[in-house]
Amino acid sequence: MKILVCISSVPDTTTKINFSENNTKFNTGGVQFVINPNDEFGLTKALILKESNPGSTVTVIHVGPVGNEPVIRKSLAIGADNAIRIDIEALDAVQVANEIAAYVKSNPFDLIITGKESIDYNGSIVPHMLGELLGIASVSPCIGLNINGTSAEMVAVIDGGKENVTSNLPVVVGSQKGLVEEKELRIPNMRGIMQARSKPLTVITSSGSTSSQSVNSYASPAAKSACKMINASNVEELVHLLQNEAKVI
Amino acid sequence: MSVLVYIENTNGVVKKNIIEAVSYAVAYGVAVGQSVIGVSIGTVSDDEIKKAGSAGLSKVIKVDGHTYLNHQITSAVLADVANAQGSTTVIMSSTNQGKGAAPRLAVKMNAGIITEVIDAPSSTAPIVVKKKGFSSKAILDIALSNNKNIITVAINSFGVQESATECTIESGSSSATDNTLTHVSFEKDTSKISLTDAELVVSAGRGLKAAESWGMIEELAEALGAATACSKPVSDIGWRPHYEHVGQTGIAISPNLYIAVGISGAIQHLAGVSSSKTIVVINTDPEAPFFKAADYGIVGDAFEVVPKLITAIKAAKA
């Protein structure tokens, strides 16, 4: 089985978000970039599937500039067999999806895994868009995946519960916590890091996709005023404030 | 050219966040000078659909015949109606259905797509809108150069704008089907109130020490008519169901009121709840980082404070 895992490079969760150039750019100074957390669950799932399906390969793909290669190498250190970097600074999700789809059309895979959403742009666009561009089913968010020969059994998160579905391969799956458990997440060990250096990382030119959105500016959300502390012996005061000041109950 | 707004129904009910999406679509229509038409799909009564009239929508196209929807079918039906109506913009709420259908619809219509939008266009050539980003740590002001766009409206941000109008329903049709994904079964969450669009949420974490302690949290939620949520450690060890986990790797919510009991307020948790309008923190530790993100705080033992809060709320509502 040929498995493709799509990864994004995002600022680590604990990063303080700042803007530069008059708030028109995200300030990357001092920012630690990591594999998008949702993608990590998908990458681990791919490695688990590879182990139970001998002869399978796990390829990682990333759409982005050369500065993102350390994050790609980390996914190789975690255990992917090889990596592809499509050399373009994508400005929106449509561009990312189109680049990946163009690659897959010439290089078919049985299973394509992406994160359900990236923690920087929170689009939730790539998984289903990839499915549509490739004319195949997509399940995202996905918290269960079993491969049976040439078909997949999947558990989709829906509002108010879950839906069990099946599809022939190939299929696109959007991963999140639950596809594998946090404690199952694979992390790079010394051997993995050494091996990653010699695993292939192939750079491919863009298929010529264009973006149709641009960020004019960034802003921080309105700051909250200081927390009003209420005495533990006077919870009636809290209720009064919630009713009359905050007006939420 | 017209603007379509998807009147999603959940088991035949048109929820408040859908009326919010209608309010947004009506404002969008004013901004761009185009009429707005609703689209309803699946099994739902005319009376439910007409709730959209309260937000100023005067016409809804009702497509009957689909008793089961998935994202492929929903997006195909919306594309059919957009084509028939000459619509270049389709708006929906940021629900699972909305965010699932929107990317497929964007491809079908050769349109741009932007999700989690929080305001009506601030200008129109090009269209400029704001969306949430960086897990609610930033607001992005984005220009859309595509002249066709699919837009999902963030839940509980734009708000419902009352503008009562008579809403007429027209029949529409679409033969859209899907043969790529086979439905096997549904499994409903056991929660009484759905967390994803709840206006009031009571959440608790490790400070409660044991799964058995949650009775008072559920009682507080019941007294308020709130949904229940939890922090990551508590869902990881199985004290609470996974779907209650709010945070970076759980779900993001934006209720009017978020009460956090025994949760310290790690950044990963805040990423899931910082859009809440009002945050109340109850914690024994005065140094808990969550107090910095809260509107109201009580330093105290949850096992003493929560029962008193339940009593006070019941008294206030009596």
Residue B13 sits in a domain of what CATH number? Answer: 3.40.50.620
Q: Is residue B226 a part of any domain in this protein? A: yes
- Which residue shows structure tokens 């016409």? B59
Q: Indicate whether B58 pLDDT > 90.
A: yes
SS3 A166: strand
pLDDT band at B133 (very low <50, low <70, confident <90, very high): very high
Q: Is residue B113 a part of any domain in this protein? A: yes
Answer whether A212 sits within 8 Å of B112, measured CB to CB: yes
Domain at B308, CATH number:
3.40.50.1220
Q: Are residues B146 and B25 in the same domain?
A: yes
**pLDDT per residue as tens digits for the range B72-95:** 999 999 999 999 999 999 999 999
**pLDDT per residue as tens digits for the range A150-189:** 999 999 999 999 999 999 999 999 999 999 999 999 999 9
Predicted complex ipTM: 0.96
Q: Are residues B269 and B160 in the same domain?
A: no
Domain that holds residue B136: 2-172
Q: Is residue B187 a part of any domain in this protein? A: no
CA nearest A24: which of A162, A228, A174, A217? A217
Name B116's Cβ contacts closer than 8 Å, sequence gap at least 6.
Answer: A122, A123, B94, B131, B132, B133, B152, B154
Among A175, A238, A244, which would you mutate to test the B interface (most chain B Cβ atoms within 10 Å of its Cβ)? A238
Among B128, B135, B290, B304, which would you mutate to test the A interface (most chain A Cβ atoms within 10 Å of its Cβ)? B135
Q: Is B284 on the interface with A (CB under 8 A)?
A: no
pLDDT value at residue A223:
87
- Enter the pTM of the model: 0.96
- State CA B126 to chain mean position distance: 27
pLDDT value at residue B230:
98
3-state secondary structure chain B: CEEEEECCCECCECCHHHHHHHHHHHHHHHHHCCEEEEEEECCCCHHHHHHHHHHCCCEEEEECCCCCCCHHHHHHHHHHHHHHHCEEEEEEECCHHHHHHHHHHHHHHCCEEEEEECCCCCEECCEEEEEEECCCCEEEEEEECCCCEEEEECCCCCCCCCCCCCCEEEEECCCCCCCCCEEEEEEECCCCCCCCCCCEEEEECHHHCCHHHHHHHHHHHHHHCCEEEECHHHHHCCCCCHHHEECCCCECCCCCEEEEECCCCCHHHHHHHCCCCEEEEEECCCCCHHHHHCCEEEECCHHHHHHHHHHHHHHHHC
From chain A, the residues in CB contact with B155 under 8 A are none
Q: Is B318 on the interface with A (CB under 8 A)?
A: no
Give the mean model confidence (pLDDT) for residues B266-275.
94
Q: Are residues B13 and B150 in the same domain?
A: yes
CA distance B4 to chain A (A): 20
Q: Is residue B88 a part of any domain in this protein? A: yes
pLDDT value at residue A51:
97
Token representation of residue A22 = 């008059």
Q: Are residues B161 and B14 in the same domain?
A: yes
Give the residue ranges of chain A where pLDDT is below 50: none
A·B CB contacts under 8 A: 244
Rounded Cα gap, residues A66 and A101, in angstroms:
20
Q: How many CB atoms lie within 10 A of CB A105?
A: 12
Q: Are residues B216 and B158 in the same domain?
A: no
Architecture of domain A2-220: 3-Layer(aba) Sandwich (3.40)
pLDDT value at residue A216:
95
Closest partner CB to B278 (pick from A164, A240, A246): A246
Q: Where in chain A are the domains?
A: 2-220
pLDDT value at residue A82:
98
Q: Are residues B295 and B248 in the same domain?
A: yes
Facing residues of B133 across strands?
A: B138
Report how many domains make up chain B.
2
Count Cα atoms within 13 angstroms, Cβ side, for B202. 21
pLDDT value at residue B318:
87
Q: What is the mean pLDDT of chain A?
A: 96
